[in-house]
Structure 1
Amino acid sequence: MNNELLAKLLPGVTKDADYYSKKFGKRDLDAKAMVTRFAPSPTGFLHIGGLFAASISKKLAVQSNGVFIVRIEDTDKKREVPNGLENIINDLNAFGITPDEGFVDADTQKGEYGPYKQSDRKIIYQSFVKELLKKDLAYPCFCTNEQLEEMKEMQESKKVRPGYYGEWAVHRNLSETEINHYLNMNTPYVIRLKSPGREGNRVMINDLIKGNVEFPENDQDIVLLKSDGLPTYHLAHVVDDFLMGITHVIRGDEWLSSTPLHYQLYQIFNLKAPEYCHISPIMKMDGTSKRKLSKRKDSEAALRFYYEEGIPYKALEEYLLTIANSNFEAWREKHPDHDFNDFHLKIENIGTSGSLFDINKITSISKNYISKLSAIEVYKELYAWSREFDTDLETLLKKYPEYSIDLLGIEREQAKPRKDLDKWSTVIQNMGYFYDEVFETDYNYEIPEFSVEDMKNVVRGYMNVYDAKDTHEKWFSKMQELAKLNGYTESVKEFKKNPTLYKGHVGHVSTFIRVAITGKIESPSLYETLQVMGVSRIQNRLNRFLNYLEENNQINKYLITPELVDLASRLKCNFVDFNISSKDNVKTLADRYDLSQTDGKNIDLLLSTCLRFEQYSLQGDLEPNGLCFLQEETAIRRLLSVLSGLKSEIIGEREILMQMKTALSSSFSDGKISQKDYKAITDLIRLAEHIREDFNLNTIENYSTIGGDIFEQTVTNKENHVVMISGGGYMAEEFFRSINDKVEKVIWVNRNLSKLKKNVSKNFPEYKDKIILADLESCKQFLPIVDFLFVAMSHSYNFFNLNDLKFLNTESLIIDVSYPPAVEETDSHKIMNIANTNFETYVKRQLSKKNIQRANQKIDDITSQLISKNNFINI
């Protein structure tokens, strides 16, 4: 290609590739030093997979005395988000992943191999492409998007490989005259690689993690420069990695299949390629199968999730090391007090398959990390977190710095430090009782077998003998004496040996004081807690507790009955819900196991809503069936959480509670559960009702009421409207109640027409003239007159298909709260369904996060009592 034509194609490019090669030159480093890079795009948040790649890249560079670079790949301008660059750099800096070269903050770059932003290196890429054009290894392509789309359709119809190659590369061999003609017409163009590859050829790629992998040779004429003159990723990263002297490229294995192309580019430019290390993605269990942790589906993919939860940065970094090298955990066990940066990461020990994401392991590492901090260090990290995520906590820490440090120091700097703190977001939940501003309790803890009079006597006696100057030994001696005076033994061992001789033991007596002081039956060392709280606060708390006992004369609101304790030891459940699994997987598992039926195989109770299926066995003989399986402690905790409304699609809705009452009544009538278990579940429902009431969790809102609100907001001339309701259950009834006085006619559809007739006659007799009843076979004939369609049907995927919707007015709004959706998706109608609409955004009454947190803590407390043999923690 002549120079005149080159100047037209790449105006302003005066330097060649050799100029830039000499300008940047080779790095003066030790032969074993690694030069690595992390090159994110400012098109969204930094996710945990990106942090994983960055942390490996940084560590390999540091431990080899090499160089770690952060550069920005910003050539996809359409997808850039505001503050994307700043957020990514801030995230990296927060985790200590600071570069030796590149972006140290959003506005500052350092290093001699820059600029480190691709959009600022446009002329460099063009100079490399110019060399290829000179050598007939690249060419301009003037195809329009329409032509390329038409080509794709032809390839599909002929069932050949898609792409721009061979005979399909229609501009590959344009003459200079033809190129000039297009340029003179100002036709937009891209520059494509003229690939030397041939179909059928194979190439072997050596990856330092995956090993030798064979691929088809690249024969695609891929785009090198886009029509705006900016490079594609394929070109840019090859040029940048060469000029910056990158020795090792650590990136996700989604790029592994592109590596033959990248090697081909290195060969065409006659450059030495770096070593490639393709890391597998972090995986997540989705029901019974694994899938890649998704930025779109999974909140825990975003680093923001860990910030808000208060997982310390170093804990997450250490977790990533556990999945980077399988031998890290053995090293940690051998070196429990070493900084994790002392560990030597080896590429050969990076796994070839994706590690399973484990939030429990992250929490465990976090708990261990926090336990090793001093009280002052905990205070500083907690205060920094609270400034952004919990201003109420920030106020308390700022108001009481010394007191806060003291309480955070309880059982800390000792051989076996406390490990009850696992993240900053749970500090108030676990330790809020230290602050009078937060301390709220109704003392609703059942302390079985002990009289209120005993508690009063113990508390009064304690008030008379407590002295803040006492050593632990003297304090404990007074507790033992107080126990003896009230008929309790001073020895737990003695009580176990002769339980009929005593009311209880000194541990029980200490629990009376613990509940009075903290409102909990579990806490860190009671002695140290009292020392930190101080005399005045202790006296106020003890008096408050005595006043409560005088007024109520009982502590039995949250009574733990023997029947419930017995049930907790054998309850099992299989479940799947949208909180722990994608919606598609809920549907798949529901179809696979036909969870709508209790088939008699050890299933005593079944709960089912749009996005949840729960199977419970009260006899302990339920086996895992591919769903999430829980038993005993975890099963009873889940069921109580479900009944309390904390696991619902809309937190606090009451449908699940009514379902349980119906299921319980049915199972008892059918003889599937005993009188004893009937009472146990009834007791659990009572506890759930108290939790809902005490923490203000009840809401009348659900998908049906939201559907009614949407109808109210979007439909005009409602009195002339005809509404079709498809479904006969709770949702359908609730929706009817919300619109029955506002419309002209309601066509109500259900598969069981006789049941629907009885239901309407019983519950809505005054509206019989307004309602037309129809079964599934006849209902579609009414579609031409329907103005609004509300669908709540189970196991009816695409019941209303595209052909049916042709008869429905395109102005009609469709709300489909079925899952899987019962109305087939189409662009011709506005369809709001669970798959495409976040109905939670329509919730009017947002429940208090603080109350939700406190309710979860109450459930934890109840669960602890259920599984504990004597329900008390010793001093």
Structure 2
Amino acid sequence: MDYKKLAQLLYPNAKDAAEIEKRYPPRSLQPGAEVTRFAPSPTGYLHIGHFFNALIDYQIAKGSNGVFYFRCEDTDKKREVKGADKIALEMLKLLKVYPNEGWLLDGEKGEYGPYKQSERLEIYHAFAKKLVSEGKAFPCFCTKTEGKADVLEQRAARFDKNATNEEYDPCRNLTYDEIAEKIAAGQKFALRLKTNGKDGDRVQFSDVKKGEIEMQANAKDVVLVKEDGIPPYTFAHPIDDYLMKTTLVVRGEEWLPQTPVHLEIFDALGFTPPKYFHAPLISKLNADGGREKLSKSKHPEADMRFFIKNGYPVDSIKEYVLNLINSGFEQWRNAHPDVDLDEFKFSGSEITAIMPIFDEIKLNDISKNVIARLNASQVYDQVFEWAKSYSPDFAKLLAEKPQFCTNVFNIDREGPKPRKDIYNWSMIENYFGYMFHRPEIDREIIDNEANFKEFILAYLHAFSLSETKEEWFDLVKQIAQKEGYATDNKLYKAQPELFKGNTAKVCEYIRIALTGKKDAPDLYTLMTILGEDEVKARLRAALK
């Protein structure tokens, strides 16, 4: 058959592949610099597994002074969700994972585009024509099988020990005249690879983490271009990653079985393939203690927006995912608790090879430490930014009283042992609710209502906001002693029946009156932030 004539029949308007290849010269990079990409399909939200891979891409490119670019793989038009590409880009921006080039929020950036696959059809058709002209691909006019019985039969065949791995399409043997007749009749065609693989053939390749791998070679005439002229990932991946000079492809290990197909297509095109790293899939323990893949349908935390909506700081999210990715990160963080996250030297050799388990308790522990390292102003800024999107009433309060709120957030924060019981911003309004709103006191937590009211009334009459904590505490002890409370703990322990209680008891009464809680941070600090008028108002309210 005259394959060049066939190529012209199938793709009469396609451009010359050699000329297109000239548009993509080698990149000017330092030796050892890696070119990585994040290339999601815009079919929904950004999955935590996708971010796991994107963070590996970003860290490897950054650590080697290379390039990390974003490519939008929007060829699956049936499943495409409008705006999903922007959701992914906005999430990367929020999480401070910045592509150097590609399809970006403010338009394309870079010399290796277009970076959106739907805008690269002329490129795919040029290389499709090239393969046809070399006798490596052929048109298929077969009707797509969609019946359930067909699918079940195909699945059963996979487990048949006597079944062949070969899957040659009948259209591979059509003559030129037969093809021309079908084209003239207006029949649509898909383009298939004319595989050289045979049943039993083996192929060897290297994975960055898994090492040398041997698998069944491809022996199927896979689709390169669908009837609508759009290529599946199988064909777009080799073309795009070769032309864009990708040096390392990071993808989920579910793609590992497809690697022999991709390598055969690279070879057919005459392209050198990139290195591959097939990343493990993130799992979660189920009720029976077994592992299951984090799925969109069952696990809300599969969606990266879950973490933002619940107010996890960006550094908490990144530190947790780095902890899942890199076995050396936790040790580094323990040795450098106060060092900025960007100082971590990412090592590809320490990337996990086993399926990591999502653990919300571990996430919360990491986030407690991240938040404990922030100063009050940083907490205010981050809480305010979060509240503007997810808690507008709280955001209004924060905007009206910035200094007051900053002072509240500074309670027990900048000392030698900062509090570590807040792990996301959605907790903080309730956590400090007694500072933002006068509390409703549950009278059942008061052990003696008469003693409580009697002391609070005496304290209210004598109260003034003292200059120092020592002066304030001296006043508390004076009132306590006058009202029949022990100020000497040794004496109280020896003869408790002589007193209504001790100094700790009256401080508990004050704390309940001001916060509605038996346990709260330092009383004097709370009162200095609330101010004298508010303290008196709360004491009066507690007497009702």
Which category of TM-score, normalised to the shorter sequence, fits these structures?
Answer: over 0.9
Q: Is 1:109 aligned to residue 125 of structure 2?
A: no
Q: C-alpha distance in 2, partners of 1:224/1:377?
A: 52
Question: Match for residue 515 of structure 2?
Answer: 518
Gap change, CA 1:243 and 1:148, over 3 Å in 2: farther
Residue 166 of structure 1: how far off its partner (Å): 4.2
- Deviation readout 1:104-129 (Å, 9 max, x if unpaired): 20x51100001100011111112122
Name the SS of the counterpart of 1:212 in structure 2: strand
Counterpart contact for 2:283–2:292, Cα < 8 Å: yes
Q: C-alpha distance in 2, partners of 1:153/1:333?
A: 52
Alignment of 1:90-239 (within 5 A): 90-105=90-105, 108-146=107-145, 166=166, 168-239=168-239
Residue 524 of structure 1: how far off its partner (Å): 2.2
Counterpart contact for 2:326–2:350, Cα < 8 Å: yes
Counterpart contact for 1:102–1:109, Cα < 8 Å: yes
Counterpart contact for 1:195–1:220, Cα < 8 Å: yes
Q: C-alpha distance in 2, partners of 1:430/1:152?
A: 55
Name the SS of the counterpart of 1:172 in structure 2: helix
- Deviation readout 1:569-615 (Å, 9 max, x if unpaired): xxxxxxxxxxxxxxxxxxxxxxxxxxxxxxxxxxxxxxxxxxxxxxx
Aligned length: 541
Q: C-alpha distance in 1, partners of 2:163/2:11?
A: 25
Gap change, CA 1:51 and 1:164, over 3 Å in 2: farther
Counterpart contact for 1:204–1:212, Cα < 8 Å: yes
Question: Match for residue 430 of structure 1?
Answer: 431
Residue 440 of structure 1: how far off its partner (Å): 4.3
Residue 130 of structure 1: how far off its partner (Å): 1.7
Q: C-alpha distance in 2, partners of 1:345/1:152?
A: 44
Counterpart contact for 1:492–1:507, Cα < 8 Å: no
Question: Match for residue 43 of structure 2?
Answer: 43
Question: Match for residue 626 of structure 1?
Answer: none
Name the SS of the counterpart of 1:363 in structure 2: helix
Counterpart contact for 2:207–2:213, Cα < 8 Å: yes
Question: Match for residue 63 of structure 1?
Answer: 63
Alignment of 1:283-298 (within 5 A): 283-288=283-288, 289-298=290-299
Name the SS of the counterpart of 1:541 in structure 2: helix
Report the identity percentage.
Answer: 37
2:460 aligned to 463, 468, 484, which one?
Answer: 463
Question: Match for residue 328 of structure 1?
Answer: 329
Deviates more, 1:475-484 or 1:453-462: 475-484
Gap change, CA 1:134 and 1:483, over 3 Å in 2: same
Residue 374 of structure 1: how far off its partner (Å): 2.2
Question: Match for residue 766 of structure 1?
Answer: none
Q: C-alpha distance in 2, partners of 1:176/1:355?
A: 53
Q: C-alpha distance in 2, partners of 1:489/1:243?
A: 83
Gap change, CA 1:466 and 1:75, over 3 Å in 2: same
Gap change, CA 1:433 and 1:150, over 3 Å in 2: closer
Counterpart contact for 1:251–1:277, Cα < 8 Å: yes
Counterpart contact for 1:165–1:221, Cα < 8 Å: no
Q: C-alpha distance in 2, partners of 1:484/1:100?
A: 70
Q: C-alpha distance in 1, partners of 2:470/2:511?
A: 18
Q: C-alpha distance in 2, partners of 1:381/1:507?
A: 36
- Deviation readout 1:239-271 (Å, 9 max, x if unpaired): 111111111111111111111212222222222
Counterpart contact for 1:163–1:220, Cα < 8 Å: no
Q: Taking structure 2 as the reference length, what is the TM-score of the superposition?
A: 0.93
Counterpart contact for 2:167–2:220, Cα < 8 Å: no
Gap change, CA 1:496 and 1:194, over 3 Å in 2: farther
Q: C-alpha distance in 1, partners of 2:304/2:482?
A: 56
Deviates more, 1:486-495 or 1:326-335: 486-495
Q: C-alpha distance in 1, partners of 2:27/2:383?
A: 42
Counterpart contact for 1:299–1:305, Cα < 8 Å: yes
Q: C-alpha distance in 1, partners of 2:406/2:164?
A: 66
Q: C-alpha distance in 2, partners of 1:324/1:494?
A: 59
Residue 391 of structure 1: how far off its partner (Å): 1.2
Residue 461 of structure 1: how far off its partner (Å): 3.1
Root-mean-square deviation (CA, aligned residues, Å) is: 2.4
Question: Match for residue 82 of structure 1?
Answer: 82
Gap change, CA 1:49 and 1:151, over 3 Å in 2: closer
Question: Match for residue 6 of structure 1?
Answer: 7
Gap change, CA 1:409 and 1:233, over 3 Å in 2: same
Question: Match for residue 265 of structure 2?
Answer: 265
Q: C-alpha distance in 1, partners of 2:48/2:62?
A: 21
Name the SS of the counterpart of 1:78 in structure 2: coil
Residue 424 of structure 1: how far off its partner (Å): 1.4
Q: C-alpha distance in 1, partners of 2:180/2:205?
A: 40
Counterpart contact for 1:152–1:162, Cα < 8 Å: no
Q: C-alpha distance in 2, partners of 1:275/1:494?
A: 77
- Deviation readout 1:672-727 (Å, 9 max, x if unpaired): xxxxxxxxxxxxxxxxxxxxxxxxxxxxxxxxxxxxxxxxxxxxxxxxxxxxxxxx
Gap change, CA 1:479 and 1:190, over 3 Å in 2: same
Tell me: higher relative CO, structure 1 or 2? Use CA pairs within 8 A at least 6 residues apart. 2
Name the SS of the counterpart of 2:9 in structure 1: helix
Gap change, CA 1:72 and 1:534, over 3 Å in 2: same
Residue 485 of structure 1: how far off its partner (Å): 4.0
Q: C-alpha distance in 2, partners of 1:180/1:140?
A: 11
Unmatched tracts of structure 2, length 5 or more: none
Q: C-alpha distance in 2, partners of 1:112/1:491?
A: 79
Q: C-alpha distance in 2, partners of 1:173/1:160?
A: 27
- Deviation readout 1:314-372 (Å, 9 max, x if unpaired): 21011101111122111111100111121122222111211111112222222222222
Residue 491 of structure 1: how far off its partner (Å): 6.3
Residue 498 of structure 1: how far off its partner (Å): 7.0
Counterpart contact for 2:5–2:133, Cα < 8 Å: no
Question: Match for residue 594 of structure 1?
Answer: none
Q: C-alpha distance in 1, partners of 2:15/2:389?
A: 50
Q: C-alpha distance in 2, partners of 1:399/1:139?
A: 69
Letter in 2 for 1:182: K
Question: Match for residue 252 of structure 1?
Answer: 252
- Deviation readout 1:478-505 (Å, 9 max, x if unpaired): 3344444445444668766876675544
Letter in 2 for 1:451: N
Gap change, CA 1:268 and 1:515, over 3 Å in 2: same
Q: C-alpha distance in 1, partners of 2:396/2:424?
A: 19
Name the SS of the counterpart of 1:171 in structure 2: helix
Counterpart contact for 1:156–1:162, Cα < 8 Å: no
Name the SS of the counterpart of 1:13 in structure 2: coil
Gap change, CA 1:209 and 1:504, over 3 Å in 2: farther
Q: C-alpha distance in 2, partners of 1:157/1:359?
A: 39
Q: C-alpha distance in 2, partners of 1:167/1:358?
A: 43
Question: Match for residue 532 of structure 1?
Answer: 529
Q: C-alpha distance in 1, partners of 2:66/2:100?
A: 9
Q: C-alpha distance in 2, partners of 1:290/1:147?
A: 32
Residue 147 of structure 1: how far off its partner (Å): 8.6
Residue 150 of structure 1: how far off its partner (Å): 7.7
Counterpart contact for 1:443–1:515, Cα < 8 Å: no
- Deviation readout 1:260-290 (Å, 9 max, x if unpaired): 2122222222222111111111111111211
Q: Is 1:342 aligned to residue 343 of structure 2?
A: yes
Gap change, CA 1:482 and 1:199, over 3 Å in 2: farther
Name the SS of the counterpart of 2:170 in structure 1: coil
Counterpart contact for 1:164–1:222, Cα < 8 Å: no
Unmatched tracts of structure 1, length 5 or more: 548-875
Question: Match for residue 543 of structure 2?
Answer: 546
Q: C-alpha distance in 1, partners of 2:152/2:370?
A: 57
Letter in 2 for 1:318: E
Counterpart contact for 1:195–1:218, Cα < 8 Å: yes
Gap change, CA 1:516 and 1:245, over 3 Å in 2: same
Gap change, CA 1:532 and 1:167, over 3 Å in 2: closer
Deviates more, 1:122-131 or 1:526-535: 122-131
Question: Match for residue 478 of structure 1?
Answer: 475
Question: Match for residue 697 of structure 1?
Answer: none
Counterpart contact for 1:142–1:190, Cα < 8 Å: yes
